[in-house]
Structure 1
Amino acid sequence: MTPEIPGATHLHSGKVRDLYTLPDGNLLMVASDRISAFDHVLEPGIPDKGEILTRMSLWWFDQLADLVPHHVISTDVPPDVAGRAVVCENLAMFPVECVARGYLTGSGLIDYTQTGAVCGVPLPDGLVDGSRLPEPIFTPATKADIGEHDENVDFDHVARTVGPEVAERLRELTLAVYARAEGIARERGIILADTKLEFGAREDGTIVLADEVLTPDSSRFWPADDLRPGGPQPSYDKQIVRNWLLSAESGWDKAADAPPPTLPPEVVERTRARYIEAYERLTGLTF
């Protein structure tokens, strides 16, 4: 159920965020407690998730401010969404997910197993799930509608979509953000395996970092002490939810059309605790 907000007009609801237009033309972006996995929005949500991810994004925007402008104008938002919303610029968003990978896992591992490359970027032989790559790579994807899958694409696809100069700048910014964030996370005992960023353009052409940034919903964070290449890694993201859905206990067939089952309370609470742990360990702040 999309909340009504006085003075704001509902524009769009994504898997986990709701977007509104404000009378001055700016946008109100609200992070809900919804959680998605395997392109399904699940029930119930994760308590406090929207606020945790909003705080984390704001913290990261501050860490990256000298690298790229961001879209946040103010955190002065209506009381009903205080703590989980920001007022942001209305940008012309680029229709591409900008992904940086420093480690091999997920859809990148599937690509590599089939082709020896990820998004057209060739990689050395012998890598396994959790292997650190020789250097971080830009592995973009298309933006999918709710219920559809993001599709990995190569750099040439991005260049054809947004133009070669913008594509090159998006790659450059994505890898710069990843490098900065990876170093910050590593100092705190956390590996940033990969991250997904979104960018938009102001009317003057300035490229701006938008949406959420470097949260457990858009990134894979792994405890550095527990890294064991060769299989799935312990994670600070919603892997707890994914693992339960794929378990015999859930009874769900990922290949079928049926929606996923309701998450049990213990999975919800463990996931909430993991989000809080990621926030506190990364930022040094208490939730």
Structure 2
Amino acid sequence: MKFKHLLLLCFLAVVTLGCKSEFETIRTSGNPETTLAKANEYFDAEEYGKAQTLYELTIAPYRGTAEAEQIAYRYAYTYYYTEQYVLASYYFKNFVTTYGGSPLKEEADFMAAYSNYKLSPIYRLDQSYSVKAIEGFEEFANRYPQSERLTEANRLIDEMRAKMEEKDFESAKLYMDIGRYEAAQRSFENVLKDYPETKRGEEIRYLMAISQYEYANRSFLERQRERFAKDVVLIENFLGRYPDSEYAPELRTLLQKDKARLKELENVRY
């Protein structure tokens, strides 16, 4: 049994070394035609790491030839399929710049943005790649207004904007939770400004009124008047916009407190 096991290991080693030897032979052959043919074989077989290595060796020899465009196109995809999305985006953009008249340009333009989309993380993390992807898809929409991919591009933009909105909204709520009410106010205002289509408008305006009241209540006496007055404006605007809101009874009570406090402060002045 031990002898058979040893034979099996030897066989597997020979097969493995043989495969590696074939790849290394092609890689070091210095023959562009053979290298490109094998790169295409690897690509079609979904062995993208090996294909990438061999395509890289063919870029210089085939520069300026008819084959160069297809090499650049597939080379970019090898990075995408191996989940090297930063480089994939770079090489898709490079393809668009180099082959501006190519029928593959639209696809490459889309994939440059889509590669950044693949890097877009959960909402709690930094959204730099979401911003890059959105910018890329917006440029795509401007360049190809009739594209069949436009619906998908817009859907992905909405998805990432929703994620970014969630992050900004939760950050504003965090400021509120830790008692940084002025920062919470600014953050909520920015959410409304940056995401005018938000479905959280009612909740955000409610939280702005609550945080403004807490901010005013904790302020130095000489600043309370203007800050309670601002809360009155926020609440009255809210009630005008959402008279039947579930938050309306609470805010009406808070409005009475604001006005009572403003009356007290007016008496203090005199």
Q: By the TM > 0.5 criterion, same fold?
A: no
Greater Rg by CA? 2
TM-score by length of 1: 0.21
Higher-helix-fraction structure: 2
TM-score by length of 2: 0.22
Q: Which of the pair has the greater relative contact order for Cα pairs under 8 Å at 6+ separation? A: 1
Higher-strand-fraction structure: 1
